[in-house]
Structure 1
Amino acid sequence: MEPFLGANRLNWDDRAELHSTDTTGSYHIENVLAGGSNLYELETREVGDIIGKDIVHLQCHIGLDTISLKNLGAGSVTGLDFSPTAIAAARDFAAKAGTDVRFVEAPLFEAVEALGRTFDIAYVTWGSVNWLDDVFRWARVVADLLRPGGRLYLAEGHPLMFQCDRKAAALEFKHDWRTPIARPLAWNEELTYTGDDRILKHPRYYEWIHPVSDVVNALISAGLTLD
Protein backbone atom coordinates (compact mmCIF):
# COMPACT_ATOMS: atom_id res chain seq x y z
CA MET A 1 0.00 0.00 0.00
CA GLU A 2 2.77 2.49 0.85
CA PRO A 3 3.92 3.21 -2.75
CA PHE A 4 0.29 3.79 -3.73
CA LEU A 5 -0.34 5.97 -0.67
CA GLY A 6 2.80 7.98 -1.37
CA ALA A 7 1.82 8.63 -4.98
CA ASN A 8 -1.70 9.60 -3.95
CA ARG A 9 -0.38 11.98 -1.30
CA LEU A 10 1.80 13.77 -3.87
CA ASN A 11 -1.15 13.97 -6.24
CA TRP A 12 -3.40 15.42 -3.54
CA ASP A 13 -0.72 17.87 -2.45
CA ASP A 14 -0.80 19.20 -6.01
CA ARG A 15 -4.59 19.31 -6.06
CA ALA A 16 -4.69 21.10 -2.70
CA GLU A 17 -2.35 23.77 -4.00
CA LEU A 18 -4.61 24.41 -6.98
CA HIS A 19 -7.92 24.09 -5.12
CA SER A 20 -6.86 26.48 -2.34
CA THR A 21 -6.15 29.13 -4.97
CA ASP A 22 -9.34 28.21 -6.79
CA THR A 23 -9.48 29.94 -10.17
CA THR A 24 -12.78 28.36 -11.20
CA GLY A 25 -14.98 29.21 -8.22
CA SER A 26 -15.75 25.53 -7.65
CA TYR A 27 -15.08 25.68 -3.93
CA HIS A 28 -16.96 28.92 -3.12
CA ILE A 29 -14.14 29.94 -0.81
CA GLU A 30 -15.28 33.47 -0.02
CA ASN A 31 -18.79 32.30 0.84
CA VAL A 32 -17.49 29.78 3.36
CA LEU A 33 -15.04 32.24 4.91
CA ALA A 34 -17.90 34.71 5.32
CA GLY A 35 -19.91 32.19 7.36
CA GLY A 36 -21.72 30.35 4.58
CA SER A 37 -21.83 26.69 3.64
CA ASN A 38 -20.23 24.71 0.84
CA LEU A 39 -22.44 21.65 1.39
CA TYR A 40 -25.00 20.43 -1.10
CA GLU A 41 -28.63 20.72 -0.02
CA LEU A 42 -28.75 16.91 -0.01
CA GLU A 43 -25.98 16.71 2.58
CA THR A 44 -27.42 19.46 4.75
CA ARG A 45 -30.80 17.74 4.78
CA GLU A 46 -29.58 14.18 5.29
CA VAL A 47 -26.94 14.78 7.95
CA GLY A 48 -29.73 16.06 10.17
CA ASP A 49 -29.45 18.03 13.39
CA ILE A 50 -25.80 18.90 14.03
CA ILE A 51 -26.37 21.74 16.49
CA GLY A 52 -23.87 21.30 19.31
CA LYS A 53 -22.59 17.99 17.93
CA ASP A 54 -18.92 16.99 17.85
CA ILE A 55 -18.06 16.05 14.26
CA VAL A 56 -15.00 14.49 12.64
CA HIS A 57 -14.65 15.06 8.91
CA LEU A 58 -12.47 12.31 7.46
CA GLN A 59 -10.47 12.99 4.28
CA CYS A 60 -11.35 16.65 4.64
CA HIS A 61 -9.03 17.98 1.89
CA ILE A 62 -8.69 21.78 2.17
CA GLY A 63 -11.31 21.99 4.90
CA LEU A 64 -14.05 24.10 3.36
CA ASP A 65 -16.78 21.53 3.98
CA THR A 66 -15.35 21.10 7.47
CA ILE A 67 -15.64 24.81 8.18
CA SER A 68 -19.12 24.75 6.64
CA LEU A 69 -20.23 22.20 9.24
CA LYS A 70 -19.10 24.56 11.98
CA ASN A 71 -20.86 27.46 10.27
CA LEU A 72 -24.05 25.38 10.30
CA GLY A 73 -23.95 25.06 14.08
CA ALA A 74 -21.83 22.06 15.01
CA GLY A 75 -20.39 22.22 18.51
CA SER A 76 -16.89 21.24 17.43
CA VAL A 77 -15.49 20.07 14.13
CA THR A 78 -12.22 18.28 13.45
CA GLY A 79 -10.91 17.62 9.95
CA LEU A 80 -8.37 14.94 9.11
CA ASP A 81 -6.42 14.49 5.88
CA PHE A 82 -3.18 12.82 4.80
CA SER A 83 -1.99 15.74 2.64
CA PRO A 84 0.21 18.28 4.45
CA THR A 85 -0.52 20.85 1.75
CA ALA A 86 -4.26 20.38 2.20
CA ILE A 87 -4.06 20.66 5.98
CA ALA A 88 -1.93 23.80 5.76
CA ALA A 89 -4.53 25.36 3.46
CA ALA A 90 -7.37 24.25 5.75
CA ARG A 91 -5.72 25.81 8.79
CA ASP A 92 -5.18 29.02 6.85
CA PHE A 93 -8.84 29.11 5.85
CA ALA A 94 -9.91 28.48 9.46
CA ALA A 95 -7.75 31.37 10.63
CA LYS A 96 -9.21 33.67 7.97
CA ALA A 97 -12.74 32.59 8.93
CA GLY A 98 -12.04 33.18 12.61
CA THR A 99 -13.26 29.70 13.52
CA ASP A 100 -11.89 27.16 15.98
CA VAL A 101 -12.15 24.19 13.61
CA ARG A 102 -9.24 21.82 14.25
CA PHE A 103 -7.27 20.20 11.43
CA VAL A 104 -5.03 17.16 11.85
CA GLU A 105 -2.59 15.73 9.31
CA ALA A 106 -2.58 11.93 9.36
CA PRO A 107 -3.36 8.94 7.13
CA LEU A 108 -6.93 7.73 7.49
CA PHE A 109 -5.90 4.43 9.02
CA GLU A 110 -4.02 6.28 11.79
CA ALA A 111 -6.97 8.52 12.64
CA VAL A 112 -7.84 6.94 16.00
CA GLU A 113 -4.35 7.49 17.39
CA ALA A 114 -3.91 10.89 15.76
CA LEU A 115 -7.20 12.31 17.02
CA GLY A 116 -7.25 10.74 20.47
CA ARG A 117 -10.96 11.23 21.09
CA THR A 118 -14.44 10.20 19.96
CA PHE A 119 -17.23 12.06 18.20
CA ASP A 120 -21.00 12.21 17.73
CA ILE A 121 -20.78 12.14 13.92
CA ALA A 122 -18.21 10.92 11.42
CA TYR A 123 -18.70 12.80 8.16
CA VAL A 124 -17.47 11.23 4.89
CA THR A 125 -18.51 12.43 1.43
CA TRP A 126 -17.91 12.26 -2.32
CA GLY A 127 -14.86 10.48 -3.60
CA SER A 128 -13.52 9.17 -0.31
CA VAL A 129 -13.67 5.37 -0.09
CA ASN A 130 -12.25 4.92 -3.60
CA TRP A 131 -8.91 6.23 -2.29
CA LEU A 132 -8.71 3.47 0.34
CA ASP A 133 -7.50 -0.05 -0.31
CA ASP A 134 -9.44 -1.74 2.51
CA VAL A 135 -12.99 -0.68 3.41
CA PHE A 136 -13.21 -3.18 6.26
CA ARG A 137 -10.25 -1.53 7.94
CA TRP A 138 -11.80 1.87 7.20
CA ALA A 139 -15.07 0.83 8.84
CA ARG A 140 -13.25 -0.23 12.01
CA VAL A 141 -11.59 3.19 12.16
CA VAL A 142 -14.97 4.90 11.77
CA ALA A 143 -16.51 2.75 14.51
CA ASP A 144 -13.62 3.45 16.88
CA LEU A 145 -14.04 7.19 16.36
CA LEU A 146 -17.72 7.17 17.32
CA ARG A 147 -18.87 7.43 20.92
CA PRO A 148 -21.91 5.38 22.05
CA GLY A 149 -24.91 6.55 20.03
CA GLY A 150 -22.68 8.18 17.43
CA ARG A 151 -23.30 7.83 13.72
CA LEU A 152 -21.61 7.89 10.34
CA TYR A 153 -22.89 10.14 7.56
CA LEU A 154 -21.67 8.76 4.23
CA ALA A 155 -22.55 10.31 0.86
CA GLU A 156 -20.77 8.66 -2.05
CA GLY A 157 -21.07 8.06 -5.76
CA HIS A 158 -22.14 4.59 -6.84
CA PRO A 159 -19.13 2.34 -7.59
CA LEU A 160 -20.71 1.46 -10.92
CA MET A 161 -19.47 4.77 -12.29
CA PHE A 162 -15.88 3.74 -11.62
CA GLN A 163 -16.30 0.57 -13.67
CA CYS A 164 -16.99 2.53 -16.84
CA ASP A 165 -14.39 3.57 -19.39
CA ARG A 166 -13.77 7.26 -18.70
CA LYS A 167 -12.77 7.96 -22.30
CA ALA A 168 -15.52 6.06 -24.10
CA ALA A 169 -18.27 8.03 -25.85
CA ALA A 170 -20.91 5.69 -24.41
CA LEU A 171 -21.21 3.88 -21.10
CA GLU A 172 -18.92 0.88 -21.43
CA PHE A 173 -17.74 -1.34 -18.60
CA LYS A 174 -13.96 -1.58 -18.46
CA HIS A 175 -13.05 -2.43 -14.86
CA ASP A 176 -14.03 -5.20 -12.47
CA TRP A 177 -16.63 -4.54 -9.79
CA ARG A 178 -14.08 -5.05 -7.00
CA THR A 179 -10.42 -3.96 -7.09
CA PRO A 180 -7.81 -6.21 -5.41
CA ILE A 181 -5.87 -4.44 -2.66
CA ALA A 182 -2.51 -5.07 -4.33
CA ARG A 183 -3.67 -4.17 -7.86
CA PRO A 184 -5.37 -0.76 -7.78
CA LEU A 185 -6.54 1.12 -10.82
CA ALA A 186 -3.69 3.36 -11.99
CA TRP A 187 -4.30 6.73 -13.61
CA ASN A 188 -2.24 9.50 -15.18
CA GLU A 189 -4.30 12.69 -15.40
CA GLU A 190 -2.65 16.08 -15.64
CA LEU A 191 -5.75 18.13 -14.77
CA THR A 192 -7.83 18.20 -11.61
CA TYR A 193 -11.62 17.86 -11.52
CA THR A 194 -12.51 21.54 -11.03
CA GLY A 195 -11.79 22.60 -14.60
CA ASP A 196 -8.58 24.40 -13.62
CA ASP A 197 -6.19 24.35 -16.58
CA ARG A 198 -3.04 24.33 -14.45
CA ILE A 199 -1.04 21.10 -14.74
CA LEU A 200 -0.56 18.71 -11.82
CA LYS A 201 3.12 18.03 -11.17
CA HIS A 202 2.32 14.51 -9.99
CA PRO A 203 -0.42 13.15 -12.29
CA ARG A 204 -0.09 9.50 -11.23
CA TYR A 205 -2.62 8.20 -8.72
CA TYR A 206 -4.35 4.99 -7.66
CA GLU A 207 -7.94 4.06 -6.76
CA TRP A 208 -9.94 1.04 -5.64
CA ILE A 209 -13.49 0.08 -6.57
CA HIS A 210 -15.49 -1.16 -3.57
CA PRO A 211 -18.96 -2.60 -4.23
CA VAL A 212 -21.80 -1.29 -2.09
CA SER A 213 -22.08 -4.74 -0.49
CA ASP A 214 -18.51 -4.49 0.80
CA VAL A 215 -19.11 -1.03 2.25
CA VAL A 216 -22.32 -2.11 3.97
CA ASN A 217 -20.88 -5.38 5.26
CA ALA A 218 -17.75 -3.61 6.48
CA LEU A 219 -19.80 -1.17 8.54
CA ILE A 220 -22.02 -3.91 9.96
CA SER A 221 -18.97 -6.03 10.80
CA ALA A 222 -17.52 -3.04 12.66
CA GLY A 223 -20.63 -2.88 14.84
CA LEU A 224 -22.64 -0.16 13.13
CA THR A 225 -26.29 -0.46 12.14
CA LEU A 226 -28.03 1.01 9.10
CA ASP A 227 -30.65 3.77 9.32
Structure 2
Amino acid sequence: MTESVDLRGGDWLDDNRRNWDERVPVHLASDFYDQEPLRRGEGVLDPIARAGIERLYPDGLDGVRVLHLQCHFGSDTLSLANRGASVIGLDFSRPAVEEARRMAAELGVADRAGFVEANVYDARHVLPEPGSFDLVFTTWGTIGWLPDVAEWARIVAWYLKPGGRLYFADGHPAAFVFDGDGGPGGLPGFAFPYAEPDAIEFDDPSDYADRDARIEHATTWEWMHPLDEVMGALRDAGLSIDAFTEHYQVPWQIFPVTVPVGQGMFSWPVERWLPLSYELVASTPGV
Protein backbone atom coordinates (compact mmCIF):
# COMPACT_ATOMS: atom_id res chain seq x y z
CA MET A 1 0.00 0.00 0.00
CA THR A 2 1.19 3.53 -0.75
CA GLU A 3 1.82 5.17 2.62
CA SER A 4 0.21 8.48 1.62
CA VAL A 5 -3.16 6.98 0.64
CA ASP A 6 -6.05 8.10 2.83
CA LEU A 7 -8.38 5.10 3.08
CA ARG A 8 -11.36 7.29 3.94
CA GLY A 9 -11.14 9.62 0.93
CA GLY A 10 -9.01 11.41 -1.65
CA ASP A 11 -8.61 11.49 -5.41
CA TRP A 12 -8.46 7.71 -5.70
CA LEU A 13 -11.84 7.25 -4.06
CA ASP A 14 -13.51 10.19 -5.81
CA ASP A 15 -12.29 9.12 -9.25
CA ASN A 16 -13.25 5.48 -8.77
CA ARG A 17 -16.67 6.38 -7.40
CA ARG A 18 -17.46 8.73 -10.30
CA ASN A 19 -16.39 6.04 -12.74
CA TRP A 20 -18.60 3.39 -11.14
CA ASP A 21 -21.55 5.78 -10.77
CA GLU A 22 -21.43 6.28 -14.52
CA ARG A 23 -21.16 2.56 -15.23
CA VAL A 24 -24.47 1.76 -13.51
CA PRO A 25 -26.84 2.74 -16.36
CA VAL A 26 -24.43 1.25 -18.90
CA HIS A 27 -24.44 -2.07 -17.09
CA LEU A 28 -28.19 -2.09 -16.55
CA ALA A 29 -28.72 -1.63 -20.28
CA SER A 30 -26.23 -4.35 -21.23
CA ASP A 31 -26.74 -8.04 -21.91
CA PHE A 32 -23.82 -8.74 -19.58
CA TYR A 33 -26.02 -8.06 -16.54
CA ASP A 34 -29.17 -9.98 -17.40
CA GLN A 35 -31.65 -9.53 -14.54
CA GLU A 36 -34.35 -11.83 -15.88
CA PRO A 37 -33.15 -14.89 -13.91
CA LEU A 38 -33.59 -12.85 -10.72
CA ARG A 39 -37.15 -12.00 -11.69
CA ARG A 40 -37.84 -15.71 -12.12
CA GLY A 41 -36.68 -16.30 -8.55
CA GLU A 42 -33.37 -17.76 -9.70
CA GLY A 43 -29.86 -16.27 -9.62
CA VAL A 44 -27.04 -14.92 -11.72
CA LEU A 45 -24.00 -16.20 -9.85
CA ASP A 46 -21.21 -17.24 -12.21
CA PRO A 47 -20.37 -20.96 -12.30
CA ILE A 48 -17.31 -20.62 -10.05
CA ALA A 49 -19.08 -18.71 -7.28
CA ARG A 50 -22.24 -20.80 -7.59
CA ALA A 51 -20.32 -24.04 -7.16
CA GLY A 52 -18.30 -22.54 -4.32
CA ILE A 53 -21.40 -21.51 -2.37
CA GLU A 54 -23.02 -24.90 -2.99
CA ARG A 55 -19.93 -26.63 -1.56
CA LEU A 56 -20.07 -24.45 1.54
CA TYR A 57 -23.84 -24.77 2.00
CA PRO A 58 -25.00 -28.01 0.38
CA ASP A 59 -28.30 -27.80 2.26
CA GLY A 60 -29.03 -24.27 1.03
CA LEU A 61 -28.79 -20.77 2.47
CA ASP A 62 -31.94 -20.63 4.58
CA GLY A 63 -31.08 -18.80 7.78
CA VAL A 64 -27.55 -17.88 6.64
CA ARG A 65 -26.64 -14.24 7.31
CA VAL A 66 -24.39 -12.82 4.57
CA LEU A 67 -22.40 -9.61 4.14
CA HIS A 68 -21.64 -8.87 0.48
CA LEU A 69 -18.83 -6.32 0.16
CA GLN A 70 -18.53 -4.19 -3.01
CA CYS A 71 -21.82 -5.52 -4.32
CA HIS A 72 -22.31 -3.10 -7.28
CA PHE A 73 -26.09 -2.99 -7.88
CA GLY A 74 -26.66 -6.21 -6.05
CA SER A 75 -27.27 -8.86 -8.69
CA ASP A 76 -25.24 -11.45 -6.78
CA THR A 77 -26.59 -10.19 -3.45
CA LEU A 78 -30.12 -10.77 -4.67
CA SER A 79 -29.11 -14.17 -6.06
CA LEU A 80 -28.12 -15.17 -2.52
CA ALA A 81 -31.38 -13.75 -1.17
CA ASN A 82 -33.33 -15.78 -3.73
CA ARG A 83 -31.59 -18.84 -2.28
CA GLY A 84 -32.91 -18.00 1.18
CA ALA A 85 -30.06 -16.01 2.72
CA SER A 86 -30.47 -12.85 4.72
CA VAL A 87 -28.06 -10.45 3.02
CA ILE A 88 -26.64 -6.97 3.42
CA GLY A 89 -24.85 -5.58 0.36
CA LEU A 90 -22.42 -2.68 0.63
CA ASP A 91 -21.20 -0.47 -2.21
CA PHE A 92 -19.78 3.04 -2.49
CA SER A 93 -21.85 4.03 -5.55
CA ARG A 94 -25.15 5.76 -4.74
CA PRO A 95 -26.77 4.96 -8.12
CA ALA A 96 -25.78 1.31 -7.67
CA VAL A 97 -27.25 1.11 -4.17
CA GLU A 98 -30.43 2.87 -5.27
CA GLU A 99 -30.88 0.36 -8.10
CA ALA A 100 -30.17 -2.55 -5.74
CA ARG A 101 -32.85 -1.35 -3.33
CA ARG A 102 -35.31 -0.84 -6.19
CA MET A 103 -34.67 -4.35 -7.50
CA ALA A 104 -35.00 -5.90 -4.03
CA ALA A 105 -38.42 -4.26 -3.71
CA GLU A 106 -39.42 -5.46 -7.20
CA LEU A 107 -38.44 -9.01 -6.32
CA GLY A 108 -40.23 -8.88 -2.97
CA VAL A 109 -37.09 -9.70 -0.96
CA ALA A 110 -36.40 -6.32 0.66
CA ASP A 111 -37.12 -7.89 4.05
CA ARG A 112 -33.99 -10.04 3.73
CA ALA A 113 -31.84 -8.05 1.26
CA GLY A 114 -30.72 -4.63 2.50
CA PHE A 115 -28.18 -2.31 0.91
CA VAL A 116 -25.80 0.23 2.43
CA GLU A 117 -23.98 3.03 0.61
CA ALA A 118 -20.42 3.29 1.94
CA ASN A 119 -16.74 2.97 1.21
CA VAL A 120 -15.54 -0.46 2.37
CA TYR A 121 -13.14 1.19 4.80
CA ASP A 122 -16.08 2.91 6.51
CA ALA A 123 -17.93 -0.38 7.05
CA ARG A 124 -17.51 -0.43 10.83
CA HIS A 125 -19.36 2.90 11.07
CA VAL A 126 -22.43 1.91 9.07
CA LEU A 127 -23.01 -1.84 9.53
CA PRO A 128 -24.14 -4.00 12.48
CA GLU A 129 -22.02 -5.07 15.40
CA PRO A 130 -18.96 -7.32 14.95
CA GLY A 131 -19.59 -11.02 14.64
CA SER A 132 -22.93 -10.48 12.89
CA PHE A 133 -22.46 -12.66 9.81
CA ASP A 134 -22.06 -16.33 8.95
CA LEU A 135 -20.53 -15.50 5.57
CA VAL A 136 -18.71 -12.60 3.99
CA PHE A 137 -19.02 -12.87 0.21
CA THR A 138 -16.99 -10.82 -2.25
CA THR A 139 -16.23 -11.67 -5.86
CA TRP A 140 -14.86 -10.35 -9.15
CA GLY A 141 -13.22 -6.97 -9.43
CA THR A 142 -13.13 -6.03 -5.76
CA ILE A 143 -9.82 -5.75 -3.92
CA GLY A 144 -8.01 -4.39 -6.98
CA TRP A 145 -9.87 -1.13 -6.30
CA LEU A 146 -8.63 -1.02 -2.71
CA PRO A 147 -5.23 0.34 -1.64
CA ASP A 148 -4.94 -1.62 1.62
CA VAL A 149 -5.81 -5.30 1.55
CA ALA A 150 -4.70 -5.77 5.18
CA GLU A 151 -7.43 -3.40 6.41
CA TRP A 152 -9.92 -5.14 4.10
CA ALA A 153 -9.03 -8.46 5.74
CA ARG A 154 -9.45 -6.99 9.21
CA ILE A 155 -12.92 -5.74 8.24
CA VAL A 156 -13.84 -9.20 6.94
CA ALA A 157 -12.69 -10.78 10.20
CA TRP A 158 -14.49 -8.11 12.26
CA TYR A 159 -17.87 -9.09 10.86
CA LEU A 160 -17.60 -12.87 10.91
CA LYS A 161 -19.05 -14.75 13.84
CA PRO A 162 -16.98 -17.58 15.41
CA GLY A 163 -16.72 -20.27 12.77
CA GLY A 164 -17.87 -17.84 10.08
CA ARG A 165 -16.40 -17.97 6.60
CA LEU A 166 -15.19 -15.74 3.81
CA TYR A 167 -15.91 -16.74 0.22
CA PHE A 168 -13.70 -14.80 -2.18
CA ALA A 169 -13.12 -15.10 -5.93
CA ASP A 170 -11.34 -12.69 -8.25
CA GLY A 171 -9.07 -12.37 -11.24
CA HIS A 172 -5.67 -13.94 -10.70
CA PRO A 173 -2.89 -11.39 -9.99
CA ALA A 174 -0.55 -13.34 -12.27
CA ALA A 175 -2.93 -12.57 -15.14
CA PHE A 176 -3.11 -8.89 -14.20
CA VAL A 177 0.52 -8.33 -15.20
CA PHE A 178 -0.64 -8.66 -18.84
CA ASP A 179 -2.80 -6.49 -21.05
CA GLY A 180 -3.97 -6.14 -24.63
CA ASP A 181 -2.89 -8.31 -27.55
CA GLY A 182 0.69 -7.21 -28.16
CA GLY A 183 2.31 -10.52 -27.29
CA PRO A 184 3.17 -13.37 -29.66
CA GLY A 185 0.24 -14.76 -31.60
CA GLY A 186 -2.12 -12.11 -30.30
CA LEU A 187 -1.58 -13.09 -26.68
CA PRO A 188 -1.50 -10.30 -24.10
CA GLY A 189 1.82 -8.62 -23.44
CA PHE A 190 3.58 -7.70 -20.21
CA ALA A 191 2.23 -4.42 -18.86
CA PHE A 192 2.42 -4.21 -15.05
CA PRO A 193 4.76 -5.52 -12.33
CA TYR A 194 3.31 -8.34 -10.24
CA ALA A 195 4.34 -6.75 -6.94
CA GLU A 196 3.78 -3.06 -7.83
CA PRO A 197 3.11 -1.38 -4.44
CA ASP A 198 1.76 1.91 -5.75
CA ALA A 199 -1.51 2.74 -7.46
CA ILE A 200 -1.77 2.22 -11.20
CA GLU A 201 -3.71 5.12 -12.67
CA PHE A 202 -5.74 4.46 -15.81
CA ASP A 203 -7.50 6.78 -18.22
CA ASP A 204 -9.74 4.31 -20.03
CA PRO A 205 -13.25 5.22 -21.26
CA SER A 206 -14.14 1.63 -22.22
CA ASP A 207 -16.36 -0.72 -20.25
CA TYR A 208 -16.18 -4.51 -19.98
CA ALA A 209 -19.97 -4.94 -20.14
CA ASP A 210 -20.52 -2.85 -23.28
CA ARG A 211 -17.60 -2.50 -25.69
CA ASP A 212 -19.35 0.38 -27.50
CA ALA A 213 -19.91 2.48 -24.36
CA ARG A 214 -17.67 5.41 -23.51
CA ILE A 215 -17.32 6.47 -19.88
CA GLU A 216 -16.86 10.21 -19.40
CA HIS A 217 -15.21 9.87 -15.98
CA ALA A 218 -12.50 7.59 -17.31
CA THR A 219 -9.81 8.01 -14.63
CA THR A 220 -9.48 5.11 -12.20
CA TRP A 221 -6.95 3.96 -9.62
CA GLU A 222 -6.19 0.28 -9.10
CA TRP A 223 -3.74 -1.79 -7.06
CA MET A 224 -1.93 -5.08 -7.57
CA HIS A 225 -2.36 -7.51 -4.68
CA PRO A 226 -0.14 -10.60 -5.03
CA LEU A 227 -1.39 -13.90 -3.64
CA ASP A 228 0.96 -13.89 -0.68
CA GLU A 229 -0.23 -10.42 0.29
CA VAL A 230 -3.90 -11.44 0.21
CA MET A 231 -3.47 -14.70 2.07
CA GLY A 232 -1.01 -13.18 4.53
CA ALA A 233 -3.46 -10.37 5.27
CA LEU A 234 -6.24 -12.86 6.00
CA ARG A 235 -4.01 -14.91 8.29
CA ASP A 236 -2.79 -11.80 10.10
CA ALA A 237 -6.45 -10.83 10.65
CA GLY A 238 -6.99 -14.16 12.44
CA LEU A 239 -8.54 -16.22 9.64
CA SER A 240 -7.46 -19.65 8.45
CA ILE A 241 -7.22 -20.44 4.74
CA ASP A 242 -9.43 -23.49 4.32
CA ALA A 243 -9.44 -23.83 0.53
CA PHE A 244 -7.61 -22.29 -2.42
CA THR A 245 -8.23 -23.07 -6.10
CA GLU A 246 -6.86 -21.57 -9.30
CA HIS A 247 -9.06 -21.48 -12.39
CA TYR A 248 -8.42 -20.99 -16.10
CA GLN A 249 -11.72 -19.23 -16.66
CA VAL A 250 -13.08 -15.84 -15.67
CA PRO A 251 -16.56 -14.30 -16.09
CA TRP A 252 -15.58 -11.52 -18.48
CA GLN A 253 -13.36 -11.24 -21.54
CA ILE A 254 -10.16 -10.45 -19.66
CA PHE A 255 -8.02 -10.37 -22.85
CA PRO A 256 -8.99 -10.06 -26.53
CA VAL A 257 -7.63 -13.55 -27.22
CA THR A 258 -9.82 -15.25 -24.61
CA VAL A 259 -12.89 -17.04 -25.94
CA PRO A 260 -16.36 -17.78 -24.57
CA VAL A 261 -16.70 -21.27 -23.11
CA GLY A 262 -20.32 -21.12 -21.96
CA GLN A 263 -22.29 -19.74 -19.02
CA GLY A 264 -20.69 -16.33 -19.43
CA MET A 265 -17.16 -17.61 -18.88
CA PHE A 266 -14.01 -16.92 -20.93
CA SER A 267 -10.81 -18.93 -21.20
CA TRP A 268 -7.67 -19.34 -23.28
CA PRO A 269 -8.40 -20.57 -26.83
CA VAL A 270 -6.06 -23.60 -26.65
CA GLU A 271 -3.20 -23.81 -24.16
CA ARG A 272 -3.93 -22.94 -20.53
CA TRP A 273 -1.11 -20.42 -20.31
CA LEU A 274 -1.66 -19.38 -16.72
CA PRO A 275 -4.55 -19.14 -14.24
CA LEU A 276 -7.04 -16.38 -14.95
CA SER A 277 -8.82 -16.44 -11.60
CA TYR A 278 -8.76 -17.91 -8.14
CA GLU A 279 -11.10 -18.56 -5.26
CA LEU A 280 -10.47 -19.09 -1.59
CA VAL A 281 -12.40 -19.87 1.54
CA ALA A 282 -11.17 -18.59 4.89
CA SER A 283 -12.71 -18.96 8.34
CA THR A 284 -12.57 -17.59 11.83
CA PRO A 285 -11.89 -19.88 14.79
CA GLY A 286 -15.00 -21.72 16.00
CA VAL A 287 -16.59 -21.41 19.41
Q: What range describes the TM-score normalised by the shorter chain of this pair? A: over 0.9
CA contact (8 A) 1:178 1:208 kept: no
Matches within 5 A, 1:24-173: 24-47=30-53, 48-49=56-57, 50-74=61-85, 76-100=86-110, 101-117=113-129, 118-168=132-182, 169-173=186-190
Q: How far apart, CA to CA, are the structure 1 residues paired with 2:220 and 2:236?
A: 29
Could you tell me which amino acid in structure 2 is paired with residue 3 of structure 1? D
TM-score, normalised by the number of residues in structure 1 = 0.93
Q: Among residues 238, 243, 251, which one is paired with 1:223 in the alignment?
A: 238
CA contact (8 A) 2:207 2:215 kept: yes
Q: Which has the larger radius of gyration?
A: 2
What are the ranges of 5 or more consecutive residues in structure 1 without an aligned counterpart? none
More strand by share: 2
Could you tell me which amino acid in structure 1 is paired with residue 206 of structure 2? L
Cα distance, 1:172 vs structure 2: 2.3
- Root-mean-square deviation (CA), in Å? 1.3
* Residues 1:213 and 1:114: Cα distance change in structure 2 (over 3 Å): same
Using the aligned pairs only, state the percent identity: 40
Equivalences, count: 222
Q: How far apart, CA to CA, are the structure 2 residues paired with 1:53 and 1:165?
A: 39
Cα distance, 1:170 vs structure 2: 2.6
Provide the secondary structure at the position in 2 that maps to 1:156: strand
Provide the secondary structure at the position in 1 that maps to 2:67: strand
Provide the secondary structure at the position in 1 that maps to 2:189: coil
What are the ranges of 5 or more consecutive residues in structure 2 without an aligned counterpart? 243-287
Cα distance, 1:196 vs structure 2: 4.9
Cα distance, 1:28 vs structure 2: 1.5
Q: How far apart, CA to CA, are the structure 1 residues paired with 2:94 and 2:233?
A: 28
Could you tell me which amino acid in structure 1 is paired with residue 107 of structure 2? A
TM-score, normalised by the number of residues in structure 2 = 0.74
CA contact (8 A) 1:188 1:204 kept: yes
CA contact (8 A) 1:165 1:171 kept: yes
